[in-house]
Amino acid sequence: MYMQKAVKANALKRLKSAKGHLDHVIRQIEQETYCIDILQQSLAVQSALRAVDNIILKGHLEEHVSHAMHGKDQQKSIQEIVDVFEKARK
């Protein structure tokens, strides 16, 4: 399976941004920055990763699940999505 070019580009852009935020959190901890500032930066990383999850999920639903819903893999596709949501809630 492949990922749509636009989805891939957008996800990579957001991941690189998240990596930059994470690198900043690491530097802040190494430099013993004020805890609230570190937490705010950490929350930015988490938000960026959630955005990546949303981009990838939307792309998957549009490209792969919509096709599977018209074929024999309907139940498998539904279960994959349910499994991902269950894992996200842990």
Domain harbouring 35, CATH code: 1.20.58.1000
Is there a contact between 45 and 27 (Cβ–Cβ < 8 Å)?
A: no
DSSP string, 21-48: HHHHHHHHHHTT--HHHHHHHHHHHHHH
- Check residue 21 and give its pLDDT: 93
Residue segments in the chain with a per-residue pLDDT below the cut of 50: none
Give how many domains the chain has, as a whole number: 1
The domain containing residue 68 runs over which residues?
Answer: 5-88
- Check residue 67 and give its pLDDT: 67
- Check residue 90 and give its pLDDT: 73
pTM of full prediction above 0.95: no
